[in-house]
Amino acid sequence: VIVARTRDELERAKRDLRGLGRLALVPTMGALHPGHDSLITLAREEAGAVAASIFVNPLQFGPTEDFTRYPRDESGDLTRLEALGAHLAFLPSTEEVYPGGAPRVTVHPGAMGERLCGAFRPGHFAGVLTVVAKLFGMFRPELSVFGQKDHQQAVLIRRMVEDLELGPITVRVAPTVREQDGLAMSSRNAYLSAEERRQAVGLHQSLQAARQGYVRGERAGARLLGLARVRLGEFPLLQLQYLELVHPETLQSVERAESGSVLAIAALCGRTRLIDNVVLP
Ligand code: AMP
């Protein structure tokens, strides 16, 4: 894997990879785990050259959030990317991405960025979309891959590409990769104490309770959310932020569940904020 840390190194690496064909970009914040692996693998299947960016983007963290203590594992990440057959790793410094400080012009996510996670993390999606727009500008990829684990993020990126005519760029979304017990993999799971880790599975279990209700034929959103809430009650360490049944593309709350509707949840597990979602079959 070619390692680039500056724009110049990135340009050189892109030139070296030109013969491989379509370029795919997988943006990440590092501390890579099997969830990230599946994005890289999907990119490898669909493009000739695969680049991963590893950048903990200060713009998407609130003032009281975990930017400084966010897990970082550069050498582990590079080993992983090498093993997966990624061609290029871009690990820029904050100054490289934001020369002269925070950008004066940023991407405004609109009302969809204020729902769900956006309601609890003001400015978060503006930070995400701004850095992804910059990465798209730097890489000019034909394909970019995101994870279903962050459903709202993937939807907003799709909308940004379409609404701001950033294409031609295909946005693909890879399924959520989970631990044995169902907990969605996340770099933030490393923060959890043993007891928190045991209860963290409550997010998945709540969603599963609602999903099972749906599979049994229940369609009333309030009833499905009730099933999830009852299950959540079995996990006293989980402090619910939101639990919603939404339309997969508009993220608007829906009253009746149908195939493709998304159940989304966010909760604090101790001090660690966890999210998960399930798409109804
Ligand atoms: P992050 O490094 O956490 O910002 O995530 C980078 C990309 O990996 C995002 O598109 C995430 O949605 C995706 N991702 C993170 N965790 C998972 C997971 N458990 N399964 C699938 N994709 C994931």
pLDDT tens string 104-153 = 999 999 999 999 999 999 999 999 999 999 999 999 999 999 999 999 99
If pLDDT is split at 50, 70 and 90, which confidence band does 247 have? very high
Q: Mean pLDDT across the chain, nearest whole number?
A: 98
Q: Tell whether ligand 1 has an atom less than 6 A from the beta carbon of residue 176.
A: yes
Ligand 1 centre to CA of 148 (Å) is 8
Residue-wise pLDDT for 47-79, tens only, equals: 999 999 999 999 999 999 999 999 999 999 999
Ligand 1, atom 22: nearest CA belongs to which residue?
147
Ligand 1 centre to CA of 125 (Å) is 15
> First and final CA of the chain: distance in angstroms?
38
Q: Tell whether ligand 1 has an atom less than 6 A from the beta carbon of residue 29.
A: yes
Residue-wise pLDDT for 228-243, tens only, equals: 999 999 999 999 999 9
Residue in 39, 53, 125, 204 to alter for ligand 1 test, most ligand atoms within 8 A of Cβ: 39
CB atoms within 10 A of CB 248: 17
What pLDDT is recorded for position 78? 98
Cα gap 23→51, rounded to integer Å: 7
CB 193 within 8 A of CB 174: no
Q: Above 90 in pLDDT, residue 167?
A: no
Q: Tell whether ligand 1 has an atom less than 6 A from the beta carbon of residue 184.
A: yes
Cα gap 204→184, rounded to integer Å: 7
- Given the DSSP bridges, would you call strands 170-174 and 238-246 parallel, antiparallel or unpaired? unpaired
